[in-house]
Amino acid sequence: METTEQIRHDRTLQGKRVILLGGTSGAGFATAAAAAKEGASVVVVSSRKERVDAALSRLPRNAEGYAVDLANEEEIRGFFSQIGAFDHLVFTAGDPLLVENIGAIDLDSARKSFELRYWGAYMAAKFGSEKIRPGGSITLTSGVAGAKPSKGFTIPASICGAIEALTRALAVELQPLRVNAVSFGLMRTEMWNHIPEEDRNIMYETSGQAIPVGRVGEPEDAAEAFLYLMREHYSTGQTIVVDGGSILA
């Protein structure tokens, strides 16, 4: 456990080691880049080697990268068994959302949607927590669909609600290790690249105009929340909402 004196002098990521599961794109990569800029050594992990290599080409030379199937228990266990000690764990890994009317959803597809976003996060906390140094943290990823679902969002909303409940449970289970989550609104990330560019830009513009800040989020907006939760030493079991006010619209 940290002393009060250590906490007072430890408000920076300089010299920290940060592992980012899903850290090769979107908010995960933005967080890796921002943490590295503050002096952290970062480790980015993705299921695809080409994504890892592309991310490493844009990060400082001391960055590390690994290809790991984050929905596979043995691969996650193996990764943490050989990675060594570190300070902060960030989980931003995700796959395309299953958005469909409940009557049209295949139950096997619905179950599979939980494999990476929920069970991946669960396993990362299970196997990664024992390697985190005193004063470190885990930060998971949720979304505002859990609090304000749209039609067709029964599965994404369920995953978001489960992640936020898991965050609170882990904060109790793993104390004094801090465990928090960041809940996104719509972000301009690669997750939406399956939509044609013209349609995607219309979605961003229309959605941005409908919320109080007047724009959709950028990956760097989310990164600021992740960095805050790593730097500070007093929040645990909390979910920070970064949504431009969409939950109010």
**Catalytic residue numbers, as ranges:** 142
32 close to 55: Cβ distance less than 8 angstroms: yes
Of 79, 202, 203, 97, which is closest to residue 141 (Cα–Cα)? 97
Count Cβ atoms within 10 A of the Cβ of residue 126 and give its class: 0-12 exposed, 13-18 middle, 19 or more buried.
middle
What are the distances in angstroms from CA 14 to CA 11, 58, 87, 124?
9, 19, 11, 24
Rounded Cα gap, residues 178 and 173, in angstroms: 10
Contacts of 11 (CB under 8 A, 6+ apart): 231, 232
Omega of the bond prior to 96 within 30 degrees of 0, cis?
Answer: no
Rounded Cα gap, residues 80 and 104, in angstroms: 38
Rounded Cα gap, residues 2 and 133, in angstroms: 10
φ and ψ at residue 74, rounded to 5 degrees? -65, -35
Strands of 73-210 (E only): list them.
86-91, 132-143, 178-184
Rounded Cα gap, residues 184 and 240, in angstroms: 9
> What's the order of all strands across the beta sheet hosting 86-91?
64-67, 41-46, 17-21, 86-91, 132-143, 178-184, 239-242
